[in-house]
A = this chain, B = another copy of it.
Amino acid sequence: MNPRILNQDLANKIMPAAAAAELIRPGMTLGMSGFTGSGYPKAVPVALASLIEAAEQRGDKFALRILTGASTAPELDGVLAKAGGIEFRVPYQSDPELRSRINKGEVEYMDIHLGQVAQYTWFGFLGKIDMAVVEVSGILPDGRLIPSTSVGNNKTWLDLADKVILEVNADQPAGLDGMHDIYYGTALPPHRQPIQLTQPGDRIGEPYLKVDPAKVVAVVESHGHDRLGHFAAPDECSLRIAGHLVEFLHHEISMGRLGPHLLPLQSGVGNIANAVLTGLRDGGFEHLTAFTEVIQDGMLDLISTDTICTASATALSLSPDGVAEFARNIDHYRSRIVLRPQEISNHVELVRRLGCIAINGMVEADLYGNVNSTHIAGSSIINGIGGSGDFARNGFLSCFVTPSTTKNGAISCLVPMVSHVDHTEHDVTVVVTEQGLADLRGLSPKQRARVIIDKCAHPDYRPMLHDYFDRACHSSYGKHTPHLLGEALSWHERYLTTGSMKP
């Protein structure tokens, strides 16, 4: 008997991935596990892609609606997109093949705040979930499920799906057992109650997922690690951004607006976020907390030294080195990390109550503090808004970070008007580039513009931004948020035409 599958009823449903995939029919809506490349099913989607390809060869259409926690991996989004099997995708993606098809107009993609996906599904706004396909790290004798490296929307998929396929992955750390906190107190309005969580590490639920065994149509024994790359050392630009942010946080402490242990950190993914975390440690901070979505290597490192003493998230997205370190010191981490459903990790009620310090990357910001997190040239999506809105709107501080330029200086990340708005002028308090930090709190639009240009813009683009702003202040229809509509998006147009925003 598989030591990870201890319930006999469910063990009786063990079958190969190919047989389980046969249970998935064209047109179905699937709720799948997976969040930032972790905890996604690794066997069934690959088998499913083969079925889809075979159907295509027969001339049959076989397309699915795919809902997940967040991004997955080539073994899920990649293979299904390549096979032409995704007709609708929610709520986040980062796979190159899938992204390419979305931007060719071949796949319909809906970009939702990650904290709202579960309730939208409960409300019925995303249709019926026909099948859940969820990776777990084990099944208890009583049939409860030990979650895997991410929780994501798995509770919702298991609760709402007509049928369930479980993948039990023998390669996920056994030590995950006990690290999760699955809150079963959610309800539909008007029956909702306050969520009684007041500290990032509070446990308000149960360590295991529940599933009606009668709904489980297949259990698949799977293998394989989450496909996450090695962790790069922060580059010079990221270190400078981190330096500005750390200096700002020290300043806020000196002004009495923050205590020495700050407030719970939310940190987006990627190099800059990791550099900021490293910067906090090197900046002498200790006994910090995190209330965030994803724990990456940078945060694990801080937890190992108790720079961060409690971290709440919905996913562990670790490099192979990070996985090894995690397994080596599992008891240390289990007492400091809580993995929750993303409905809770990103819940506006909790983000507001805890007063998170939100630090997220972006594509570009404009003079007035509007932020584009998702689109190139207003039309081509990169990944999605993720949880940035859940945290930015409701946190204590809403920081957005980016290098001041990209593409070797051909693109300025500070522009007259962003080509797509994900975070409005009402929701952005701090903008940081390697050039400096713009503190937008308490400023009118024109005051924000001056600070953003002077603190954040690259010197190559600063005169161009000043020129636009000055002329807009003179000639704009209204002078509250001065704009020259014929020019506002011209930098993006020029980039598309000439390959550079420079004239």
Contacts and interface: CB of A to CB of B under 8 A. Distances in A.
Q: Chain A's interface: helix, strand, loop or mixed, by majority?
A: loop
Contacts of A478: 103, 375-377, 379-381
Contact of A108 (B110, B396, B444): B444
B104 A479 contact: yes
Contacts of A355: 188-190, 192
A257 interface: yes
A111 B425 contact: yes
A494 to B, nearest CB: 10
A3 to B, nearest CB: 41
Interface stretch (A16-24, A134-142, A218-226, A415-423): A415-423
A410 B489 CA distance: 24
Contact of A379 (B264, B483, B492): B483
B426 A125 contact: no
Contact of A125 (B103, B105, B442, B479): B442
B190 A263 contact: yes
Most chain B CB atoms below 10 A, which of A375, A389, A477, A483: A477
B354 A192 contact: yes
Contacts of A424: 389, 421-424
A123 interface: yes
A371 to B, nearest CB: 10
Chain A interface extent, by class: 35 or more
Nearest to A121: B442
Contacts of A102: 480
A112 interface: yes
A476 interface: yes
Interface string A380-420: 11000100010001101000000000000000000001011
A492 B487 CA distance: 12
A159 B354 CA distance: 22
Given A353-B194, A379-B480, A380-B477, A263 B189 contact: yes
Interface stretch (A50-58, A195-203, A324-332): A195-203
A477 B379 contact: yes
Contacts of A481: 375, 378-379, 381, 420
A28 B120 CA distance: 46
Contacts of A12: none
A447 B89 CA distance: 13
Contacts of A380: 477-480
A461 to B, nearest CB: 18
A255 interface: yes
A255 B128 CA distance: 13
A425 B348 CA distance: 18
A124 interface: yes
Nearest to A443: B110
A110 B429 CA distance: 12
Most chain B CB atoms below 10 A, which of A124, A352, A381, A482: A352
B353 A189 contact: yes
Given A108-B447, A353-B192, A492 B496 contact: no
A399 to B, nearest CB: 13
Contacts of A259: 190
A477 B496 contact: yes
Contact of A393 (B199, B263, B393): B393
Interface in A334-355: 347-349, 352-355
Most chain B CB atoms below 10 A, which of A259, A378, A472: A378
A196 B198 CA distance: 13
B376 A477 contact: yes
Interface string A93-113: 000000000111100111111
22 contacts: A105-B479, A105-B482, A110-B442, A111-B426, A124-B255, A124-B257, A125-B429, A188-B355, A189-B396, A192-B354, A194-B194, A348-B349, A348-B394, A370-B421, A378-B477, A378-B485, A379-B472, A380-B480, A423-B424, A424-B424, A485-B496, A489-B489
